[in-house]
Amino acid sequence: MYRYDEFDHAFVQARVAQFSDQVERRLAGELTEEQFRPLRLMNGVYLQLHAYMLRVAIPYGTLSSRQMRMLAHIARTYDKGYGHFTTRQNIQFHWPALSDIPAALADLASVEMHALQTSGNCIRNISADHFAGAAADEVADPRPYAEIMRQWSSVHPEFSYLPRKFKIALTGSNRDRAAIQTYDIGLHLKRNEAGELGFTVWVGGGQGRTPLLAKKIRDFLPRQHLLSYVTAIMRVYNLHGRRDNKWKARIKILVHEMGAQEFARQVEAEWETLKDGDLKLPQADIDAINAYFAPPPLVDRPEGDEAVRLDRLDSRSFSDWLNRNVTTHHHPDYAAVTISLKNIGETPGDMSDSQMDAVADLAERYAFDEIRVSHEQNLVLPHVARADLKAVYDALVEIGLATANIDLISDIIACPGLDYCTLANARSIPVAQQIALRFASLERQRDIGELKLNISGCINACGHHHVGHIGILGVEKKGAELYQVTLGGAADENAAIGEIIGRGFGPDEIVDVIETLVETYLAIRSDRSERFLDVYRRLGAAPFKEALYGAEAKAA
């Protein structure tokens, strides 16, 4: 893992001192809310429905056990004993007092964490594949490049007041688990024919009110040019991005209106002036950052194969968990374990302080002290010896985190919605809970197969509803909650924006609607290997509309 150098420590501590002073002046009445608001947002402090909210950055979703224990401490000491992992691989605390936040930030700084750039019109926390450095299908670990960009973008003077917020994601595999086509910039790390590492560059993706998939503007960018090329993109955006209308200010609108070809031409022209200058990454620096992300010492543990085979025979529930929550590692004796934060009937992404402590202990004991947060709001232990899988499973059962539902219908992405969020128009969490309870039987869920269901409580789409196989968007209509359904979205390498299927449904109808969609799928799939999304792609929305709206659909 990356460790702060002297500069990082001094920088983060200086920011804590600066923000502590700002909070003190606000509480003493020396700063108005108008003056203070942009300052608190730069430090991850929002005001939500019930209280302030502190959003803590988890760079590229990577945590050590020590850091996870600190998150547990923050939850216990300054909040109400839990935290909420977000679709941006960050964590939010929903109840801190403003007067306590400087102390919380000081505690976070002691474990190399902060809340910088988790809000505001700047380059936000950079995300990456949650299996980075572990996945068998990975070409190279994308996190060193995310770390290089983290350092470069932190309080970057030129890019701290952009037209709008700016999000970057990276993957190092052809299989995109980081949803890069839904990002302002998506970077796909790969090798060219000569075996050199570089990036395919995607620009202008985003969800929200105007969902658009990113456009590929460069097939291969040699890695030493990462910062110069991204700077060129930022400059074209900073120059031409709209500042007169918040809803048209994201780079996706610029790329869409300018056209990807013209946008790329302007980026290339700007890049020509930058590519051989100070921003060109020296090989020694690339190597130095890469060294921080060297794989842990994965000694051979060949006894795992036999152990897993026997334990499978012994326990059906362990076998089910292996099938759903365990992913192939590049070392044959190891595996990546996904810890579902989607217990049936509970809040997606929420975790108690004691569970955080317990997972920190597990990571320390069995997973080389590494934990990841996925954008799907689960946790990952990226390097677990197969010989230790049963012990990890048993420990997860003890703390109530062994639900074997990854990628099934109850593995729902959901934003906090109207239960917490000041932007929301409708609740998300109770809808997620009721759907999970309706499909509570894991046997039924496995029969349905992979089905990504995402819920947002407003059009800002933090719950990624546009790219769910089934997406649910909560809106407010005549003072009541109403839920619109989209079908056919996808966030992977074959990304797609879902299609709205028709009029919305009330809170008391939406669970039945989802069940009707699922039953329709089950009735028309060719066989079990044809997923919900495959059926939608083969037959379109018609059979689903017919099932939901009947004659109404035919008339339309």
Helix axes 510-524, 542-549, angle to 10 degrees: 130
Query: What distances in angstroms separate CA 135 from CA 60, 142, 328, one per listed residue?
Result: 15, 12, 6
- Determine if 76 is a binding residue for other proteins (CB under 8 A): no
Does 498 contact other proteins by CB under 8 A? no
Nearest of 276, 59, 16 to residue 168 by alpha carbon: 59
Q: Report, in Å, the least distance between residue 458 CB and other proteins.
A: 11
* Nearest distance, CB of residue 451 and other proteins, angstroms: 23
32 versus 529: smaller Cβ distance to other proteins: 32
Cβ contacts of 237-243, under 8 Å, gap ≥ 24 = 237/162, 237/163, 237/166, 238/158, 238/159, 238/162, 238/163, 241/162, 241/163, 241/164, 242/163, 243/163
From 118, 347, 355, 520, residue interacting with other proteins (rule: CB under 8 A): 347
542 sits near other proteins (criterion: CB under 8 A): no
Return d(Cα 359, Cα 401) in angstroms, integer: 9
- Select from 214-222, 362-370, 417-425, 495-503 the region that touches other proteins (CB under 8 A): 417-425
Report the alpha-carbon angle 128-132-135, nearest 5: 135
Residue 29 touching other proteins (CB under 8 A): yes
Least Å distance, CB 58 to other proteins, is 23
Phi, psi (rounded to 5 degrees) for 502 = 160, -160
Task: Using the minimum distance from each CB to other proteins, give the nearer residue, 27 or 269.
Answer: 27
* Residue 420 binding other proteins, by CB under 8 A: yes
Q: Give the type of residue at 346.
A: E
Residue 387 CA, chain-centre distance (Å), reads 29
| Rg over CA atoms, the chain | 23
478 is a site residue for other proteins (CB under 8 A):
no
d(CA 75, CA 55) in angstroms, rounded, equals 12
Cβ proximity to other proteins: between 120 and 430 the closer is 430
- Residue among 117, 181, 327, 433 that touches other proteins (CB under 8 A): 433
CA 426 to chain centre: 22
CB 132 within 8 A of CB 145: no
Residue from 8, 107, 419, 493 binding other proteins (CB under 8 A) = 419
Question: CB of 502 within 8 A of CB of 549?
Answer: yes
CB of 33 to other proteins, least distance (A): 5
Residues 266-325 that bind other proteins (CB under 8 A): none
Provide the greatest CA pair distance for the chain: 68
CA atoms within 13 A on the CB side of 431: 38
Q: Is 418 in the site for other proteins (CB under 8 A)?
A: yes
The residue count for binding other proteins (CB under 8 A) is 30
Q: Which of 195, 245, 479, 556 binds other proteins (CB under 8 A)?
A: 479
Q: Is 98 in the site for other proteins (CB under 8 A)?
A: yes
Residue 93 or 202 having the CB closest to other proteins: 93
**CA-based nearest residue to 95, from 106, 86, 83, 105:** 83
Among 41, 49, 197, 258, binds other proteins (CB under 8 A): 49
- Establish if 508 lies at the interface with other proteins (CB under 8 A): no
CB of 488 to other proteins, least distance (A): 29
Q: Outline where DSSP puts E strands in 358-405.
A: 370-373, 379-385
By CB under 8 A, residue 477 contacts other proteins? no
Q: Which is nearer to other proteins, 440 or 480 (CB)?
A: 480
Closer residue to other proteins in complex, CB, 49/286 = 49
Q: Is the dihedral of CA 273, 276, 279, 280 positive or negative?
A: positive
Among 42, 227, 429, 518, binds other proteins (CB under 8 A): 429
Report yes or no: 235 and 265 within 8 Å, Cβ to Cβ. no
Binding to other proteins by residue 430, rule CB under 8 A? Answer: yes
Binding mask 182-221 for other proteins (x = CB under 8 A): ----------------------------------------
Among 73, 76, 80, 242, the residue binding other proteins under the rule CB under 8 A is 80
List contacts with other proteins (CB under 8 A): 26-27, 29, 32-33, 47-52, 80, 95-99, 347, 418-420, 424, 427, 429-430, 433, 476, 479-481
